[in-house]
Amino acid sequence: NAGVTQTPKFRILKIGQSMTLQCTQDMNHNYMYWYRQDPGMGLKLIYYSVGAGITDKGEVPNGYNVSRSTTEDFPLRLELAAPSQTSVYFCATHQGQGPQHFGDGTRLSIL
Amino acid sequence: GNSVTQMEGPVTLSEEAFLTINCTYTATGYPSLFWYVQYPGEGLQLLLKATKADDKGSNKGFEATYRKETTSFHLEKGSVQVSDSAVYFCALSDRGSGTYKYIFGTGTRLKVLA
């Protein structure tokens, strides 16, 4: 049982490049989230989804886009990478009032 | 609106010391409460949870009791080990307007010295 799988684990981008962070879950959870965690800081919510076809902004959505075409996948897109987007990105899922399950994270550096 | 407030760190303790990390919350409904742990270089892992008032969650020697009267969910451990060094996050999940909302505290870093 893989749980929440994030790819890639590490990535270095140049300013202005674009990329997609992948998140896949095999728990059939409706809710999925993208967070970013800057060094020594807590979590900031970027986007979330309550089910396939439904997404909504969190507290720091600027510079990111998401889609949710299936229950399993919730990719996060960076269109024009900026140094301020250097961070660790976590995907998480949950069902109902249960706990969130986190992936191992993607460590992204933008130079 | 809902919120979670936890004590600022870092907290530095000697091995075998008693640990308390305070967490208080505000919620409009009847939230579930959680503690997560994040070890260096890793994602967050669920440590324990409680779903209703007076419930006690426990795991790996850690405990927390859901106190509705004081809106608190303090994390405790009787004797910490060096391996407990990590960041601890308090969180709540509440259902409002038909969807669940998850709120995390800012995290408390614990450092245990041998």
Q: What is the pLDDT of residues A11-32, one digit of tens each?
A: 999 999 999 999 999 999 999 9
From chain B, the residues in CB contact with A41 under 8 A are: 106-107
Residues 6+ apart with CB under 8 A from B97: none
Which tokens is B100 given?
């669940």
Lowest mean pLDDT among A83-87, B5-9, B31-35, B85-89: B5-9
Please report the pLDDT score of residue B29 as a whole number: 80
Residue A1 has pLDDT above 90, yes or no: no
Question: Which among A75, A37, A9, A108 is positioned nearest to B44, based on CA atoms?
Answer: A37
Please report the pLDDT score of residue A96 as a whole number: 86
Instruction: Identify the closest residue of chain A to B106 by CA–CA distance.
Output: A42
Please report the pLDDT score of residue B101 as a whole number: 86
Question: Alpha-carbon distance B45 to B60, whole Å?
Answer: 13
Instruction: Identify the closest residue of chain A to B109 by CA–CA distance.
Output: A40
Q: Does A62 touch chain B (CB under 8 A)?
A: no
Strands in B27-107 per DSSP E: 32-38, 44-50, 56-59, 62-65, 75-77, 86-96, 99-104
Please report the pLDDT score of residue A33 as a whole number: 97
Average pLDDT, chain A: 95
B82 secondary structure, DSSP code = G
Residue B99 has pLDDT above 90, yes or no: no
Q: Does B77 touch chain A (CB under 8 A)?
A: no
pLDDT, tens only, B80-97: 999 999 999 999 998 877
Strands in chain A per DSSP E: 4-7, 10-13, 19-25, 31-37, 43-51, 54-57, 64-66, 76-78, 87-94, 101-102, 106-110
Residue A40 has pLDDT above 70, yes or no: yes
From chain A, the residues in CB contact with B44 under 8 A are: 43, 90, 92, 100, 102
Question: From the CA of A97, how many Å to the nearest CA of chain B?
Answer: 6
Residues 6+ apart with CB under 8 A from A107: A9, A10, A11, A88
Q: Does A106 touch chain B (CB under 8 A)?
A: no
